[in-house]
Amino acid sequence: MLVFTNLLLFESVTFTYMSYFNLIKINATSSTNDFLKERYRKGACLDGDLVWAKHQTLGRGQRDRTWISNPEESLTYSIYKIYEHFSSSDAFVISVAVSLGIINGLKSLGIPNLSVKWPNDILSDDKKIAGILIENIFKKQNLKASIIGIGLNINQMKFIDLPNATSLASVTKKKWDINIVFDQLKFQLEKILFSLDSISLSHLFSDYIDLLWKKDEISVFEKNGRTFNAITRGITWSGCILIEDKTGKKMEFNSSQLRMNYKN
């Protein structure tokens, strides 16, 4: 067992070595992604490092949004994963794999009506139950590694000013043991992330498309402050959404160009 100190927060950290993931449990940090980025800058990251924070004080989501997490009521952790055979054009497949791993874990727990809201929110009953933030590391034209941040709402019952959020407790009407939830998600993510070199990426992508929220339905999108209706038709290999407007015109946008709203 190794112990080191988080230089930013002056906290004791305990390492427990497992089959693939190297589990790092800490009481609190500003952001588990930033925690791993600091270790990476120091050359201290190992393939499969997984940092799990009991409390994340400044968690981040997509588009620099804040991820709100309550101590003891949510699960926040990040993974450092190295790749050998992916080009930069394959980067979105990491988001696909992580989304499927989380959904498979939640399915094993009996969580109902799961879907993926583009680009990487996990929903249950049309409300956000988990979010993913992936920060990729490239070398020339190759994807070398990812820092994968995951936040899951577990036992929260109230979401102030977050009408589109939910939790495991809200959808199942019971309180959950965070360790049991973590073990299920860890198992599924371990299975998928450490087999990416040997499984069919096209099959993964097809499974992701099948879980896509509001596919072939009219949704509200926002671009440059303007909202409009369009139908989601699919996702490109690079992660762009394919939509069709009311005139039948088909377009594709990346997540920095277009936002998909929850409400019609």
Give the largest Cα separation in the chain, rounded: 62
Write down the residue that tokens 């034209």 correspond to. 141
Q: CA 209, CA 196: separation in Å to the nearest integer? A: 18
- Asked if domains 3-210 and 218-260 share a fold, the reply is no
Full-model pTM:
0.88
The residue assigned the tokens 């959808």 is: 171
Q: What's the Cα-to-Cα distance from 166 to each of 72, 212, 225, rounded to whole Å?
A: 16, 18, 26
Q: What is the rounded CA–CA span in Å between residue 100 and residue 112? A: 15
The ranges assigned to domains in the chain are 3-210, 218-260
Cis amide bond preceding 119, omega within 30: yes
Segments in the chain below pLDDT 50: 1-12, 14-18, 60-63, 67
| 69/75 Cα distance (integer angstroms) | 8
Q: Evaluate whether 109 touches 75 at the Cβ level (below 8 Å).
A: no
Amino acid type, 112 = P
Q: Write the class of the CATH domain 218-260.
A: mainly beta
Instruction: Give the pair of three-digit tokens for residue 174.
Output: 């019971």
Q: Does domain 3-210 have CATH number 1.10.10.10?
A: no
pLDDT confidence of residue 58:
55
Distance in angstroms (rounded) separating the CA atoms of residues 40 and 154: 29
Q: Which helix (H) or strand (E) holds 173?
A: none
Q: What is the pLDDT of residue 56?
A: 79
First and final C-alpha spacing in the chain: 52
DSSP 217: S
Tokens of 216: 């072939």
Close Cβ partners of 34 (under 8 Å, ≥ 6 residues apart): none
Decide: residue 98, CB within 10 A, 0-12 exposed, 13-18 middle, 19+ buried.
buried
